[in-house]
């Protein structure tokens, strides 16, 4: 998160004040220390720790701060956007997602399972581009669901420092309670637990990798970002229905689809209201491509040459009568 913002800012000649999440502050401090060791001048990169609302208010009110960039929840992003209005700051926001992952009848099952698994369970489901809803066409639903459940069963939960571990804990107790709320809401409305569905025997903030079947659009698992290791499977009939379900959200960050049909891949990619689309691929983020969303998933782009634009202003100079 920090390097994607600080890199282009420094390259454009800006100084930076970093306010890391209070839940994950240590990497920011390590990055700042490494920056000093690498020769970045003292004062060019600064890290401020403490009370988030107080620090945020100070940064919002300061006329010296010309730009705010934020990665986090849509709710906080809206507050920062509103707070930046008084001093008319430039704002770029990378906010929440509700990523659909569409598996069409003509998809390669193995490719779809592998890609969906990577898109859903990276970092135990705790990224803004994680697949939040897996839409599966009826003709392939049972076959995909069976293969997907088998793949999820093989995920090893444990200490992230151990080589065999692929799933670590959720960030805190509140995150676990949110997952429990979403799963409970789904089952109360007719969804069925195909795998997992409860806290892991390791205790603490570990949650079992979970697959929930027959999820519908009246459930929290469909309408909101679960941010945990829960994969909702949603059957659909037609391509048009899949596009409608995928776009039925205020979010618009990442989307995924699996199909062997090139024409369909282009057609659906254009119809999806998302800033990033992965076709037959579950890991799509790269620093050389523009990263960002549409609708309430944010403003601006990070990465690629376009990631520089948010740290620059265009100046027009007209010179005349110079002899």
The DSSP secondary structure of 192-230, one letter per residue, reads: EEEE--SB-TT-TT-B--EEEES--TTSHHHHS---SSE
Does the predicted model carry a pTM greater than 0.75? yes
Among candidates 184, 233, 173, which has minimal Cα distance to 207? 173
Q: Indicate the DSSP class of residue 171.
A: S
Domains of the chain by residue range? 1-95, 99-279
Longest CA–CA span in the chain (Å) reads 82
Beta bridge partners of 277: 255
Q: Indicate the DSSP class of residue 288.
A: T
Decide if 70 contacts 94 (C-beta within 8 A): yes
Decide if 263 contacts 275 (C-beta within 8 A): no
What CATH topology corresponds to 99-279?
Aldehyde Dehydrogenase; Chain A, domain 2 (3.40.309)
Q: Which CATH architecture has domain 1-95?
A: 3-Layer(aba) Sandwich (3.40)
Catalytic center residues: 94
pLDDT per residue as tens, the chain (323 positions): 899 999 999 999 999 999 999 998 999 999 999 999 999 999 999 999 999 999 999 999 999 999 999 999 999 999 999 999 999 999 999 999 999 999 999 999 999 999 999 999 999 999 999 999 999 999 999 999 999 999 999 999 999 999 999 999 999 999 999 999 999 999 999 999 999 999 999 999 999 999 999 999 999 999 999 999 999 999 999 999 999 999 999 999 999 999 999 999 999 999 999 999 999 999 999 999 999 999 999 999 999 999 999 999 999 999 999 87
């Amino acid at each position: 998160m920090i390097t994607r913002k600080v890199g282009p800012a420094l390259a454009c000649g800006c100084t930076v004040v970093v306010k890391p999440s209070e839940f994950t502050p240590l990497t920011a401090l390590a990055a700042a220390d490494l920056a000093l060791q690498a020769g970045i001048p003292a004062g060019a990169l600064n890290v401020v720790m403490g009370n988030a609302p107080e620090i945020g208010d100070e940064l919002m009110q300061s006329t010296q701060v010309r730009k705010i960039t934020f990665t986090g929840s849509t709710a906080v992003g809206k507050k920062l956007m509103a707070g930046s209005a008084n001093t008319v700051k430039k704002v770029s926001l990378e906010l929440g997602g509700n990523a659909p992952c569409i598996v069409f009848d003509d998809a390669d099952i193995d490719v779809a399972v592998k890609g969906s698994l990577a898109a859903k369970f990276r970092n135990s489901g705790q990224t803004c581009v994680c697949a939040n809803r897996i839409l599966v066409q009826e003709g392939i639903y049972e076959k995909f669901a069976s293969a997907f459940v088998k793949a999820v069963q093989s995920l090893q939960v444990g200490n992230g420092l151990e080589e065999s571990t692929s799933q670590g804990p959720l960030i805190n107790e509140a995150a676990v309670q949110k997952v429990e709320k979403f799963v409970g809401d789904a089952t109360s409305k007719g969804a069925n637990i195909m795998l997992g569905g409860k806290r892991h025997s390791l205790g603490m903030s570990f949650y079992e990798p979970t697959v929930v079947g027959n999820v519908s659009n009246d459930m929290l698992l469909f309408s909101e970002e679960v941010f945990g290791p829960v994969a909702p499977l949603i059957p659909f009939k037609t391509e048009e229905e899949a596009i409608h379900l995928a776009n039925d959200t205020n979010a618009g960050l990442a989307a995924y689809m699996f199909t062997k049909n090139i024409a369909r891949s282009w057609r659906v990619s254009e119809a999806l209201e998302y800033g990033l689309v992965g076709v037959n691929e579950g890991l799509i983020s790269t620093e050389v491509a523009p990263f960002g969303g549409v609708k309430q998933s944010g403003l601006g782009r990070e990465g690629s040459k376009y990631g520089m634009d948010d740290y620059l202003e265009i100046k027009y100079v007209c010179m005349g009568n110079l002899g």
